[in-house]
Structure 1
Amino acid sequence: MFTLPSLPYAYNALEPYYDEQTLRIHHDKHHQGYVNGLNKAETKLQEARDQGDFSLIKHWERELAFNGSGHILHTMFWENMIPGGSTLSGEVAGRIDRDFGNFQAFKKQFSAAAAGVEGSGWCTLVWVPKFQKLEILQIEKHQDLTLWGCIPLLILDVWEHAYYLKHQNRRADYINDWWNIVNWDDVNRRYLEALS
């Protein structure tokens, strides 16, 4: 069974950009809910296999995709942030320049994509091995509008529960604050792993 991972920092460590109260609720309640949903889906799918009854397969497969993706994306989201942020460097910095022209062009596109996610979802920087380049994707819900075979490197949660207590309906302000706590060392590590 899956468990909720601990945060890699204290609840108040991302202040003032990501507030403690939101972080507590987001991690302890929302992320825990996806872990619970994933475990329930896995249990129900095992029961279906054991009993040979697949009458609810579409429902439990959907629950698996939604909650499993929510768990994976949230886990990466926590790891992609660090108190005080870090400086973009390493091989991923050069790749961003190559694929987007420069960091500012990348940041503008990523911010616009994050702000433009329709309803609830995510924005992510991914490495696409088949294309041999970085791309920016919007992910609606947790599992829609993905690109098969891509490897996520940088994740931004733009569900309202991720920012509403501090930023209310000002998603653009939340995105702007988030850039101050990005863990580029983690992004670079993920990029190097994707290349190997």
Structure 2
Amino acid sequence: MAFALPPLPYAYDALEPYIDSTTMNIHHTKHHNTYVTNVNNVLAGENGGSLKGLSLSAIQKEVVSLPDSIKTAVRNSGGGHWNHSFFWSVMGKTGSIAEAPSGDLKSSIESTFGSLDEMQKKFNTAAATRFGSGWAWLSVNADGQLFISSTPNQDNPLMEGIVDQPGTPILGLDVWEHAYYLKYQNRRPEYIASWWKTVDFDVIAKNYTAAKSGGLPAFDTPLA
């Protein structure tokens, strides 16, 4: 088997006016699809056999131990596939999503950061100050505590031994220019602020519950 480009869980224009439909279409069908194609090429090669049968999430955890001949390709393209699949899953159409956390997630955010506003400020700073291309994350560490981090390129917190702060992501934001440049040009902070209007906190809560019990985010990825 090989990985396939997952369909978006909503229409390309569903996140308007915050993320425009043209960006979503190009981002999904061109950028994300390229990562899928490239990681499948690695898996089909002579050194990709050890990864066959692993889930996409499991592959992230294996990056640090891969041979040099495929490590960079899997890190970039396998990471790109995972990150984008996750990214689509945490967003939804305004009016049909939970726009604020509740329950255990709300309590954990408040105990860790003081308030939702403070968490968002720290997250926004991580996203805005990520030099060049990369991601901002809200994750759960091995002790079950929330933390905010950012990673370069297509790295993610599942890549233990690669990233400075490993953990299980429950929320992530793409700050590569292709994610926002058509609408926001160089105004990354404006994109970040607008993006919060698309975040579905019900999904984040499910991810948090899974992460606390040692599980992974609640989105499906085919096995390789």
- TM-based fold match above 0.5: yes
Listed as ranges, the matches of 1:94-133 within 5 Å are 94-130=107-143, 132-133=144-145
Q: Kindly state the Cα deviation for residue 145 of structure 1 after the two structures are TM-superposed.
A: 3.5
Separation of aligned partners in 2, 1:112 and 1:15: 24
Query: Helix, strand or coil for the counterpart of 2:77?
Result: helix
Query: Helix, strand or coil for the counterpart of 2:170?
Result: strand
Q: Which blocks of at least 5 consecutive residues in structure 2 are unaligned?
A: 52-66, 156-161, 214-224
C-alpha contact 2:48 2:70 (8 A) present in aligned 1? no
Residue 105 (structure 2) aligns with: 92
The aligned amino acid for 2:168 is I
Separation of aligned partners in 2, 1:46 and 1:35: 14
Q: Kindly state the Cα deviation for residue 142 of structure 1 after the two structures are TM-superposed.
A: 1.1
1:47-79 CA distance string (max 9 Å, x none): 799xxxxxxx42422101111111111011001
Give the alignment partner of residue 185 of structure 1, picking from 202, 208, 211.
202
Residue 53 (structure 1) aligns with: none
Query: Helix, strand or coil for the counterpart of 1:139?
Result: strand
Residue 79 (structure 1) aligns with: 89
Residue correspondences, number: 187
Classify 1:119/1:59 alpha carbon distance in 2 versus 1 (closer, same or farther; 3 Å).
farther
Query: Helix, strand or coil for the counterpart of 1:118?
Result: coil
Q: Kindly state the Cα deviation for residue 46 of structure 1 after the two structures are TM-superposed.
A: 3.5
Q: Kindly state the Cα deviation for residue 181 of structure 1 after the two structures are TM-superposed.
A: 0.6
Query: Helix, strand or coil for the counterpart of 1:145?
Result: coil
User: Which structure: greater helix fraction?
Assistant: 1
The aligned amino acid for 1:154 is L
Give the alignment partner of residue 69 of structure 1, picking from 79, 98, 105.
79
C-alpha contact 1:114 1:138 (8 A) present in aligned 2? yes
CA RMSD in angstroms, aligned pairs only? 1.6
Give the alignment partner of residue 152 of structure 1, picking from 164, 169, 178.
169
Q: Kindly state the Cα deviation for residue 96 of structure 1 after the two structures are TM-superposed.
A: 0.5
Separation of aligned partners in 1, 2:50 and 2:120: 46
Aligned-residue sequence identity (percent) comes to: 40
Task: Answer with 1 or 2: which has the greater Rg.
Answer: 1
Q: TM-score, normalised on structure 1? A: 0.91
